[in-house]
Structure 1
């Protein structure tokens, strides 16, 4: 159209939408001609990390290195859970559905990183045009996930053979950095605390330090479950030592948390939507948790995290020097198993006193980190 040809437009700008006015235009009335915030995208990167929520959270350190290595890059992230990602830190967050997959297949990227082995994620890597590809693709003739680059082979094999996974000594974040050709330098998670929402926590006990107790473990790996009796013993010990325990969880943990509240008087505020739950966790001075979404949130919030682990490789988790990983006194023989081979989970051999001591060492009395 002649009108467009006679108008200065910068489609390469990181703010430019094409289907809608950009934010600088809406907020400040800027147009492309002479725009003071014009920011051309130097490269375009697509991250495919669909789920689960915890895995999405612990992939966010990649954002820090990508910004450093490729200043001015425009990052698109495809996921099943857009709400968990830091909205102001990523130019484009897409929910995985047919419409998103369709439009991505019609675009070109400088880099595409796929960190999921699900077939739908792998086939997207096959079909999207990019100068560089990292992670996993789909082998067309047998439909199995396969490393698209040599750097992805280590992480690929830890998910194929239990023996390889057990022998691995690298944390997950280091593995995905190396998969992309980066050395891991301790980059922290990129996360939104949702403090700007102004949630009212006047019902929280004022006494500090507050220790959040994330009592659930999900319904897939129930071998991680700690008994109600153990939680009561820990709560009693925390209260006697001068800590303020606060029960945390979602709908699946609600009945248990109500039972624990009734038995011990430990604070329990109920269940909340995810952003509010994250902000509630941010009010804590330390978190005791299983390997769950709550663990990833705790690490992302930079809380001292006391991580109770039995069935997973302990090297997989990087607590960034905050907190401790504690394991049962009996060696676990159910690596990545949802049911215990011996009938009674070794989690019953994790003493409450051992967890309490880890809290004492990680969150000294009189210390508040929230």
Structure 2
């Protein structure tokens, strides 16, 4: 039933209703609540807090599929530091984490509130927000320590505070966050936008006649530099890929730009430069396979359902679910620097990952 303001019917429960601005149906078609043909009452209101980093936000999106299944018609509000990475058509309300968003969320009530971050500001928000059911991490009021708010969150919490438990863990990240929310993981895929509708021109890419395009994401960020592969190794891989009938394409951002220019000059591999995030995502979508470290490019590749060759050394390989597409390859010697940004032995074990091993994984994952 509508509510009435001065005898004017209003549907504040509609998923299109804004309150501060005209809704889209009113703006585009002139509909009012009295006769609106697209009136759609929202179901359960769900708050999802996942602030960052970008890759972790991307690999949280499989939860959207399960939340829709368990709560048909639900209205999802997602709070994040990187709104642009989320699929805009798949989340009713996307808020950037700032003072204004935190203030208004604490004044609202939700049916379900989920916080997947241990950052104290995220935990404090879950503590203060009103919700019938809460999952994830809250803040202990008397000492300010992040703490599980429900028993299902214990496992993911403990693997984050004890290296021994993290090393022994055999559950992928996505399974862990599903279980944290009280769900079993059934292989739900990411929810992601390819940005094909933007009409980007990729005429400079190697044509199909040159073989399957293999995107080479050559960087890994500046936090865990023990993951870096040397320029010499990349050159060897590129020349081997070319000889095997593949078309390597160099990928990266501003940090990788100098390295990619060097690799392009040494091998003739295609390199189109750096792009804003939506365009970069669409560029990755043009590839038939991706070789990458554990970095944002890896998450984008998995989300786009590309065969992913993941070069890993310092992280637990069980953490990553490639959904049966691609392979995880590691150095020929055991890494002793679990979650460390510098190598205890002086030279990163990534130098013991042969280019031939990566090439073989490409051959097995992306057929000519």
Deviation beyond 2 Å, 4+ runs, structure 1: none
Structure 1 position 8, deviation (Å): 1.2
2:199 pairs with 1:182? no
Deviation per CA, 1:252-311: give whole Å up to 9, x if none.
Answer: 000000000000000000000000000000000000000000000000000000000000
- Give the whole-Å Cα distance in 2 for the aligned partners of 1:11 and 1:3: 10
- Kept in 1, the 8 Å contact 2:49–2:115? The answer is yes
Structure 1 position 208, deviation (Å): 3.0
Structure 1 position 132, deviation (Å): 0.4
Query: Residue 229 of structure 1: SS of its match in structure 2?
Result: helix
- Give the whole-Å Cα distance in 2 for the aligned partners of 1:218 and 1:346: 17
Deviation per CA, 1:205-238: give whole Å up to 9, x if none.
Answer: 1133000000001100000000000000000000
Structure 1 position 36, deviation (Å): 1.6
- Give the whole-Å Cα distance in 2 for the aligned partners of 1:88 and 1:217: 30
Residue in structure 1 matched with residue 333 of structure 2 by the alignment: 330
Residue in structure 2 matched with residue 270 of structure 1 by the alignment: 273
Structure 1 position 154, deviation (Å): 0.1
- Give the whole-Å Cα distance in 2 for the aligned partners of 1:251 and 1:15: 39
Structure 1 position 140, deviation (Å): 1.1
Deviation per CA, 1:52-78: give whole Å up to 9, x if none.
Answer: 000000000000000000001000000
Residue in structure 2 matched with residue 113 of structure 1 by the alignment: 114
Query: Residue 146 of structure 1: SS of its match in structure 2?
Result: strand
**Which deviates further from its counterpart, 61-70 or 21-30?**
21-30
- Give the whole-Å Cα distance in 1 for the aligned partners of 2:263 and 2:62: 35
Residue 294 of structure 1, aligned match among 297, 307, 318: 297
- Give the whole-Å Cα distance in 2 for the aligned partners of 1:260 and 1:134: 46
Residue 256 of structure 2, aligned match among 253, 257, 264: 253
CA RMSD of aligned residues (A): 0.9
Residue 242 of structure 1, aligned match among 241, 245, 254: 245
- Kept in 1, the 8 Å contact 2:4–2:10? The answer is no
Residue in structure 1 matched with residue 103 of structure 2 by the alignment: 102
- Kept in 1, the 8 Å contact 2:48–2:77? The answer is yes
- Give the whole-Å Cα distance in 1 for the aligned partners of 2:157 and 2:211: 44
Query: Residue 118 of structure 2: SS of its match in structure 1?
Result: coil
Residue in structure 2 matched with residue 306 of structure 1 by the alignment: 309
- Give the whole-Å Cα distance in 1 for the aligned partners of 2:27 and 2:63: 31
TM-score (ref. length: structure 1): 0.97
Residue in structure 2 matched with residue 13 of structure 1 by the alignment: 14
Structure 1 position 5, deviation (Å): 3.5
Residue in structure 1 matched with residue 66 of structure 2 by the alignment: 65
Structure 1 position 34, deviation (Å): 2.7
- Give the whole-Å Cα distance in 2 for the aligned partners of 1:244 and 1:139: 53
Residue 317 of structure 1, aligned match among 316, 320, 332: 320
- Listed as ranges, the matches of 1:145-294 within 5 Å are 145-206=146-207, 207-294=210-297
Query: Residue 255 of structure 1: SS of its match in structure 2?
Result: helix
Residue in structure 2 matched with residue 368 of structure 1 by the alignment: none
**Which deviates further from its counterpart, 133-142 or 31-40?**
31-40
